Structure 1
Amino acid sequence: MELTTVWFALIAVLWAGYFLLEGFDFGVGMLLPVLARDNRERRLLINTIGPVWDGNEVWLLVAGGATFAAFPEWYATLFSGFYLPLLLILVALILRGVAFEYRGKRDDDTWRKRWDACIIGGSLVPAILWGVAFGNIVRGVRLDANHEYVGSFFDLLNPYALLGGLTTLTLFLLHGAVFLALKTGGEMRERAGRLAERLAPAAILIAGGFLAWTASTHHDVAGWLLFAAAALALAGAALATRARREGWAFLATGATLVIAVAGLFVTLFPDVMPSSIAAANSLTVDNAASTPYTLKVMTWVAVAFTPIVLAYQGWTYWVFRKRLTIERIPV
């Protein structure tokens, strides 16, 4: 297997890991005004992701860095053509990160509400725009013969991409609600479970529509099989949520996100950014890649350090595995 294909697959793994882990972070942030009734409950929800949210964002940094090093042409076209939505995502993530650190610095309700709004907005904006971005990548964008984006910002707001944004939004909300049902106890656990049960049908409808649309426009058998598996996993999440089997439900929502991302990348291959103007203008794993020597060095670095990073992050989740209850939150 060529190293260009290996690194395309590794970048897909990084994005799948990011959506799996940061997905429930975004879900928890968006659900603050829905599930929490007072400051203690908001602190309870934030504490469920407090030890891990910043580690989860590392997957995004590594995915971006790997794209820059392995496929610099893809990185350049993506970040220049999608400049405004990616800038909005970056600002939202910055405000969200600052809010986690600063909301408890003053004992003032107004102060905390302002930072809570940053957490909510900083979770909502990326949850939508990541879906819009990936929807456009899979659909294809206006690339000229020099592989430069020649469309406008409003070209990115097409129906297919907007449905992709709704898909990531609903899946992250469901993933976050299931995570909270798994991570909390008492009344909050029941409240989160009931909300997850109500969110599941909407997620099935919207995500199923997006995956069906994708499958109908890209005749790739492997992609179809992965989309079907993602749909089955999502249905399983709905059943597990109804039965209040939080662990199985969380595994199912996580599997839905991972398999769906895998399906999108399989459908995309060998392109990394198709052109909607002419197929010859598309960026592929070959014409967007770095030199073979660069890819070889990157591969050895990844082999050496990836197990260490995964082991450390797994250990972090193990240490903070216990359920949290409102009784543990000081008044």
Structure 2
Amino acid sequence: MQLHDVWFVLIAVLWIGYFFLEGFDFGVGILTKLLARNRPERRVLINTIGPVWDGNEVWLLSAGGATFAAFPEWYATLFSGFYLPLLVILVCLIVRGVAFEYRAKRPDENWQRNWENAIFWTSLIPAFLWGVAFANIVRGVKIDQHLEYVGNVWDLLNPFALLGGLVTLALFTFHGTVFTALKTVGDIRQRARKLALSVGSVTAGLALLFLAWTQIDQGDGKSLVALVVAVAALVAALVANQAGREGWSFALSGVTIVAAVTMLFLTLFPNVMPSTLNADWSLTVSNASSSPYTLKIMTWCAGIATPIVLLYQGWTYWVFRKRIGTQHIAADAPTGAVH
């Protein structure tokens, strides 16, 4: 295996980690409207991800930076061709971070409600658009002989991509629902388990349709194994949820994400962005990669830094591992109070 193949795998791992971790906190953000009945319950949901959401986004920065350094042609074509949806995602992530930090800065009801609405929409929109983006990457886009994207934004809104967006939206919502059941106590925990059943059932139908479509179009034996694992893990997550085994349910919903994203990268390799105009114009791991020396330096840096980052993030999750409920939420300060 050559270094550009290794870095394709490493970038796939970074995206898998990002979707696994950011997936549940996108889901929790969506649940602030679907599950929470009042402000204390919304505060419970936000507090479940409060200590970790920003650490989860490090995986996105790492994936983008690794793509830029290891596959500059892929990075250039991707970010120029997908400029508008990626810009929308970036703006959502910025507003979302501000919303988490500023929501509690003032006790005014309208102030807090507006920031809570921002958390909902800036969780829902990226959850949908990431699926649209990755479905287009796997399906292929209009790339010419100069390795440049020559389509427009409407070409990205094809049925396959829109279905991919619905799958990630539903899957992240389900992932967030079982995470909520794992991290909370009392009535909100019970309602999260009930909601997980309905959301998970819809997710299973959408995921099976999308993954089967992908398999029929571009799959092989390896991707078929990943498809079976993804569907089986999702069904098992639903069974574990009904049995009240929230830890197993969350782990299995994570396996679903891991297997599904793995399948997409398996169908993509050795391409990184297929061309629908001419297969010879596709971006591949060889024609889109940096020099071997650059990849060698990156490999040494990643080998040193990655274990440190993983240990620190794992420690963060361990420190904030306990369940919370509305009884742990302090009363809101009176309107107009200074604190």
- TM-score bracket, normalised by the shorter chain, equals over 0.9
In structure 1, the residue matched to 2:13 is 13
The percent identity for this pair of structures is 63
CA distance in 2, matches of 1:156, 1:42: 34
Letter in 1 for 2:86: L
CA distance in 1, matches of 2:186, 2:145: 59
CA distance in 1, matches of 2:125, 2:93: 9
In structure 2, the residue matched to 1:39 is 39
In structure 1, the residue matched to 2:153 is 153
In structure 2, the residue matched to 1:226 is 226
Q: TM-score, normalised by structure 2?
A: 0.97
CA distance in 2, matches of 1:241, 1:214: 28
Q: Give how far 1:219 is off.
A: 3.5
Letter in 2 for 1:326: T
Q: How does 1:97-116 map to 2 (within 5 A)?
A: 97-116=97-116
CA distance in 2, matches of 1:234, 1:36: 24
CA distance in 2, matches of 1:305, 1:81: 31
In structure 1, the residue matched to 2:58 is 58
CA distance in 2, matches of 1:226, 1:200: 19
Q: Give how far 1:7 is off.
A: 0.2
What is the SS of the residue equivalent to 1:12?
A: helix
Q: Give how far 1:163 is off.
A: 0.3
In structure 2, the residue matched to 1:4 is 4
In structure 2, the residue matched to 1:94 is 94
Provide, for residues 128-169 of structure 1, a one-character-per-residue CA deviation record: whole Å limited to 9, x for no partner: 000000000000000000111111100000000000000000
Provide, for residues 62-86 of structure 1, a one-character-per-residue CA deviation record: whole Å limited to 9, x for no partner: 0000000000000000000000000
Provide, for residues 9-44 of structure 1, a one-character-per-residue CA deviation record: whole Å limited to 9, x for no partner: 000000000000000000000110121111111111
What is the SS of the residue equivalent to 1:180?
A: helix
Q: How does 1:191-206 map to 2 (within 5 A)?
A: 191-206=191-206
Provide, for residues 247-305 of structure 1, a one-character-per-residue CA deviation record: whole Å limited to 9, x for no partner: 11001100000111111101100000000000001000000000000000000000001
Q: Give how far 1:197 is off.
A: 1.1
1:170 corresponds to 2:170: yes
In structure 1, the residue matched to 2:274 is 274
CA distance in 1, matches of 2:55, 2:154: 33
CA distance in 2, matches of 1:97, 1:251: 26
**Greater shift after overlay, 36-45 or 13-22?**
36-45
Q: How many residues align?
A: 331
CA distance in 2, matches of 1:33, 1:199: 14
What is the SS of the residue equivalent to 1:174?
A: helix
Q: TM-score, normalised by structure 1?
A: 0.99
**Greater shift after overlay, 77-86 or 258-267?**
258-267
Distance 1:303 1:178, change over 3 A: same
Letter in 1 for 2:11: I
Q: Which runs of 5+ in 1 are unaligned?
A: none
Q: How does 1:302-313 map to 2 (within 5 A)?
A: 302-313=302-313
CA distance in 1, matches of 2:262, 2:326: 38
CA distance in 2, matches of 1:274, 1:50: 38
CA distance in 2, matches of 1:313, 1:209: 34
CA distance in 2, matches of 1:109, 1:170: 30
CA distance in 2, matches of 1:198, 1:220: 31
CA distance in 2, matches of 1:38, 1:200: 24
Q: Give how far 1:228 is off.
A: 1.1
Letter in 1 for 2:99: A
**Greater shift after overlay, 102-111 or 31-40?**
31-40
In structure 2, the residue matched to 1:318 is 318
Provide, for residues 150-197 of structure 1, a one-character-per-residue CA deviation record: whole Å limited to 9, x for no partner: 111000000000000000000001000000000000111001111001
Moved >4 Å (runs of 4+): none
Q: Give how far 1:325 is off.
A: 1.3
In structure 1, the residue matched to 2:81 is 81
Q: How does 1:114-133 map to 2 (within 5 A)?
A: 114-133=114-133
In structure 2, the residue matched to 1:328 is 328
Q: How does 1:228-243 map to 2 (within 5 A)?
A: 228-243=228-243
What is the SS of the residue equivalent to 2:57?
A: helix
Q: Give how far 1:200 is off.
A: 1.2
CA distance in 2, matches of 1:221, 1:109: 55
In structure 2, the residue matched to 1:142 is 142
